Amino acid sequence: MTIYNLDKEDRCRIISIPNISLLESLGIREGVAVKVKNKQPLGGPVVLQTGNRNIAIGKRIAKQIIVEAL
C-alpha cells in the first residue's frame, strides 16, 4: 500500500521510499511512523505529520512511498 492510498488521520509505518535525498532530510525515512494529516483533492499533495512536523508530499512521490498501516 502507498501513502497516497491512505485517508486523513490514518497512521502508518514507512517500509520503503524512492531514492530522493530530500525526503530523508525532511524526516521521511524507512521505519518512521507518520500520520496523514490532510489529503488534498484532485491530485493535490498529501500532508504528513512526523513528530511535531507537518510535511507536504506531492502525489507523484506519495504514490512511491510504500507503507504498512498501524
CATH number of the domain that residue 58 is part of: 2.30.30.90
Given this model, what pLDDT does residue 64 score? 96
The end-to-end CA distance of the chain, in Å, is 12
Q: How far apart are CA 46 and CA 30, in angstroms?
A: 18
Write out the residue range of the structural domain in which residue 55 sits: 3-69
Cell of 19: 531514492
- Taking residues 33-50, report their average pLDDT: 93
Given this model, what pLDDT does residue 41 score? 84
Residue 42 has pLDDT above 90, yes or no: no
Count structural domains, the chain: 1
- Closest by CA position to 69, among listed 33, 38, 45, 40: 33
More confident residue, 43 or 53: 53
- Taking residues 4-9, report their average pLDDT: 94
